[in-house]
Amino acid sequence: QVQLVESGGGSVQAGGSLRLSCAASGYTVRNAHVAWFRQAPGQEREGVASIYTGGGTTYYSDSVQGRFTIAQDSAENRVYLHMNSLKLEDTAIYFCAAGFSGAFSSHQWSVPSRYNYWGQGTQVTVSS
């Protein structure tokens, strides 16, 4: 059974940093498209960043480009999201998701329905 468990969320002041971790069990992170999404109250789920672990291709939303970095650790079967220069608008629940339909394109990676498995989410709160 595939399971994804997020950790690393918390409260941080604007300008600070956090590292989110997505631990996978039941499959290996190789050859999967793994993404981080976030959802703020009253808003739709938004794709933040993704990585195709079979080749390393990464995508980022415009709102986090240059501030967030997604990375894989195959030895630990984890995918990380390094978040720097956090802003108030980054406050949301962050979800890890995995898809097994090959590498997604730049138009596909941010579509939630393309992912087969989801974690339970971890809260990130950025304050002034």
Query: pLDDT-derived band of residue 63, with 50, 70 and 90 as boundaries?
Result: very high
* Tens-digit pLDDT profile for residues 64-118: 999 999 999 988 889 999 999 999 999 999 999 999 888 899 999 999 999 999 9
34 forms bridges with which residues in the sheet?
51, 98
pLDDT of the residue at 29 = 63
Q: Provide DSSP, 48-83.
A: EEEEETTT--EEE-TTTTTTEEEEEETTTTEEEEEE
- Cβ neighbours of residue 105 closer than 8 Å, sequence gap 6 or more: none
Burial class from Cβ neighbours inside 10 Å (0-12, 13-18, 19+) for residue 22 reads buried
Contacts of 13 (CB under 8 A, 6+ apart): 126, 127, 128
Q: What is the pLDDT of residues 1-60, one digit of tens each?
A: 889 999 999 999 999 999 999 999 887 767 889 999 999 999 999 999 999 988 889 999
The amino acid present at 60, given as its one-letter code, is: Y
Sole residue written with tokens 């390393």 = 56
Residue 111, amino acid: V
pLDDT attached to residue 101: 85
pLDDT of residue 2: 85
